Amino acid sequence: MIPTNRRRLFEHFFAWHVTGRFAKRFSAVRVRGLEHLRAERDRRPILVVSNHTSWWDPLLMFHLSFRGMNKLEGHALMDAKNLRALPLLGWIGAFGVEIGDKADGERAVQYGAEQLSRAGKFVGVYPQGRERPITERPLGFKQGAARMALLAKVEPAIVPLSVRYEHGRHEKPEVLANIGPAIARAGDEATLTAAMEAAVTALLDETQAAVHTGEHRAWPLYIDGGAGPSVGERVLAGSAPRVHR
């Protein structure tokens, strides 16, 4: 298990960097339900459980904890192999687990539970364990996140998050993040795992319905990447770029 190696000054730079990367690669990052996270910010620690479909997921999780939640002390569990390849992610709160090593998995779960010690602490977990297609059902949540919640000495707010990357009418895709209300820490590991998976699945289904009707376009704009053509495309099309003053 690789513990976090947080560097607070670096987090400020990295949050700025991540904002720019999302703005460059996506036409918009839309976040629905951010108020569910903010309602818990000063009440208790927060455990966010999410589906995992893309390399971008941990960057979004970090941004939501640091910028969206006004500099919460965020942590995220990730594959130790990937953390060794990108050690700077440890500087922003990532901690690593050896996938397939049961003993190391237990150490990572215990470490995550210890981070859930007070209000203002945030841990993000992807219970699927690895990136999976957005269409996969069931999601196949493993029990580590539930065990982490049950081991935490302070009852955390268990907040479900679903993330979808959607190509539509613009050249660049959109990020659609859907956050639900906290679910209760109740039952044993299997019961709580099932509740987590059901909550995230419901959010994914809500997002699917919103995309089908176009309602997702009214979701709050979190990062604006600009949906219009590039400067070069405007020049090729014979129109000068507009300057906003």
Residue 192 contacts residue 146 (beta carbons within 8 Å)? yes
Backbone angles phi, psi at 125, to 5 degrees: -135, 145
The pairs formed by 132-141 with CB atoms below 8 angstroms and a separation of 24 or more are 132/51, 132/52, 132/53, 133/53, 134/51, 134/53, 134/164, 134/165, 134/204, 137/201, 138/197, 138/201, 139/51, 139/197, 139/200, 139/201, 140/197, 141/49, 141/193, 141/194, 141/196, 141/197, 141/200
User: What average pLDDT does this structure show over 125-146?
Assistant: 95
pLDDT tens-digit readout, 35-61: 999 999 999 999 999 999 999 999 999
Residue 42's CB: how many other CB atoms inside 10 A?
Answer: 8
* Alpha-carbon gap, residue 152 to 109, rounded angstroms: 10
Beta strands 174-179 and 28-32 are parallel
Residue 136 has pLDDT above 70, yes or no: yes
What residue ranges define each of the domains in the chain, with the CATH number in brackets? Answer: 29-225 (3.40.1130.10)
pLDDT tens-digit readout, 149-200: 999 999 999 999 999 999 988 899 999 999 999 999 999 999 999 999 999 9
pLDDT tens-digit readout, 20-36: 999 999 999 999 999 99
Residue 241 has pLDDT above 70, yes or no: no
Task: Return the pLDDT at 72.
Answer: 85
